[in-house]
Amino acid sequence: MPTTSLRDLLKPPQDPGAALAAPGPRRARAVWIGRRRYAPIHDLQKQLVEARAEGRIGDTILLLEHDPVITLGPRANPENVLLDSGALNERDIDLVATGRGGDVTYHGPGQLVCYPLLDLRPDRCDVRRYVRSLAEVMILLAREHHVEAGVVDGMIGVWVDRAAPHEWGGAEWAREIAKLGAIGVRLSRWLTMHGFALNIAVDLEAFEMIVPCGIREHGVTSLHELTGRRLTVAEVALASAPQLARGLDIEVGRVEDLSGVADLAGALLAPEAVAGEGRSAP
């Protein structure tokens, strides 16, 4: 099965003619599922992608925060994990090899993780466009909290000027760029998995356990560090429908709160998750 990683971003779209199609409005169901361990949600993503491929559900967006975990992409440099397995176990931090693009990342409480499970066919079969749309969602979310962010050539993710968080004129004008959000995706047959992680009020010292995304020369920051406001991930996630809709160019209704649901697969694979077009939450 062909897959696409972030290393393929410099390649042209595989199907440039697909953009000529003009389907009707696209809708996605967005759900907040609370704090979860990584491995079960990775398995859930795979179940939902299979259901999406078979037309049993529509486009779905998972919003959550993870228990502490370090993840490695298929081409990650293991030397970018700076603690050994024993030290990670002592801190109750999972170490997981995963199929997304990118190098080494950390996820933990205080970080908004977004997994859009979308079918990009027939008119959105462009990897660079999709990755840029994920960045746009994070930029819009940051702007809601009076932080201006942007992208930097050659470095995946969303960046800010730590010295002037309310301005962004590009990396060339910034005095101290820092990473606010990471992106790592996997595409198979134009079905998407994984997504982005936006630092809301995450413990920034946790990033000292890794070389984030293999980038040593720039630090990591959060909305809390930049603004002094301690937002919760839940409040940002539950209010994120407008930014998701604008950034992904897709209709998104009110984000549903499924944080208390134990059987997420049962809830998300239910027949009312309209196949083909997705569903807007009430």
Q: How far is it, in rounded angstroms, from Cα 234 to Cα 278? A: 23
Q: Are strands 94-97 and 69-72 parallel, antiparallel or unpaired?
A: parallel
- What was the pLDDT predicted at 211? 85
Q: Tell me the per-residue pLDDT of 60-72, one tens digit each, with 9 for 90 and over.
A: 999 999 999 999 9
Per CATH, the number for 3-9+26-268 is 3.30.930.10
* CA-to-CA separations, 21 to 17, 120, 124, in angstroms, rounded: 8, 12, 9
Q: What is the mean pLDDT of residues 7-11?
A: 43
Q: Tell me the per-residue pLDDT of 212-244, one tens digit each, with 9 for 90 and over.
A: 777 777 899 999 999 999 899 999 999 999 999
Other beta carbons within 10 angstroms of residue 144's beta carbon come to: 14
For the whole prediction, is pTM greater than 0.85? yes
> What are 109's two structure tokens?
């409480």
> What are 134's two structure tokens?
């994920």
Cα 273 to chain center, whole Å? 22
The catalytic residue positions are: 213
Q: What sign has the CA pseudo-torsion 149, 152, 156, 161?
A: negative
Q: Contact, 69 vs 95, CB < 8 A?
A: yes
Q: Which residues pair with 196 in a beta bridge?
A: 114, 183
